Amino acid sequence: MNSAIVGLQWGDEGKGKVVQKFSRSHEWIVRFSGGPNAGHTVYHNGKKVVHHLVPTGTDKNKLFIGRGTLVNFDILNDEIAKLSEIYPDIKERLFISEWCRVITPVERWQDAEIEKLKGAKSVGTTGMGIGPTISNDANRIALHVFDLFDERIFREKAKLLKKFCGYQKDFEDDLLKSFNKVRERVEDPKISGDILFEGTQGIMLDPMYGTYPYVTSTPTIPSYLSYGSGIKAGYEVFGVFKAYVTRVGAGPFPTELNDDTGDAIRKSGGEFGSTTGRPRRCGWIDLPQLKYAIEISNTDHLVMTKADVLNGFDKIGVCVGYDRPFCVHDLEDVNAEIEYIKGWKNLESSEFGDFVSLIEKYIQKRIDYISFGPSEEEIKVR
């Protein structure tokens, strides 16, 4: 059976290790969206690796970077080199769609300049050039992987891109050199067998269904995966969420804790961006937000992660409503209604069971898996 794993909050829900666990029952792992702005922290044979572009899998999986993914070849090559130390044949099992859009130094420069121009209205991007690449693609001047196979065409298009964007430096030679390291892996393969579609970031960052304008630039909802991968397939959706909530960058966050409790969650959960290293904003779980994300993503199965991070807190907050109806593009200045319950010592405590029951009652859906540590072995079925 095909599966899609997506985040139900603002990203950083711990999807990487969930993908790693489920990869063992699938033949293919497919990325269908996002780019190196996303980071999945996974432990391979005890060694920590942050995946930015290479799909998360084991030594048995075939890996496909689908056409909806934005590629930075320098980051991709570094990642392949690190994974090759663990899986020597990783490169032979990796395929890259020729339709992937290519992030160049032009877009990374644009990203920084646009954030400066926005000033107080900046959204806090990762600076990876994601938004400008999408914008340039809409203007029909972005580079695609297929452009790099013909050097004359590539240089002509690169010249137009620089002229359009007002970029003065040459990057063509370096980009070609980086591309040539993975040139032979460019192929849209014929995929058969069970597929696991690996989502990036979270539903609340989707550009059409998230907290616009504080969103990412590529779709995060599972209904995009066939379009973004080029694969027509049915699938079950596994939605991943934390026992609390985090987000990186600017934007509304109704349950944010700007106090010692928020600091304690950040420290206990190691809540620092895997891509940027920035400290994540932390807050109590938000049930209206979670229910919205479950409905918009048509989630079939729920996975709660980082439940153990809240071990030892005297009381736990749960947002059960706002002072006005939920509206995804109007969460600024809402007042969250927080219900406090007794904390728990460990996940075997009855108090933790009460926490789970409270969530399930509100969202009207069962939580099928609970994660309680950084490795894939620390996920239990309920």
Our answer to whether residue 144 is catalytic in this structure is no
What are the backbone dihedrals phi and psi of residue 193, each rounded to the nearest 5 degrees, phi first? 90, 175
From the candidates 40, 44, 51, 52, give the one annotated as an active-site residue: 40
Alpha carbon distance 249, 214 (integer Å)? 8
Residue 102's identity, in one-letter code, is: V
> Cβ neighbours of residue 158 under 8 Å, at least 6 residues apart?
104, 143, 171, 172, 175
What are the backbone dihedrals phi and psi of residue 106, each rounded to the nearest 5 degrees, phi first? -60, -50
Our answer to whether residue 329 is catalytic in this structure is no
From the candidates 12, 147, 206, 286, give the one annotated as an active-site residue: 12
Count of beta carbons in the 10 Å neighbourhood of residue 348: 8
Active site residues: 12, 40
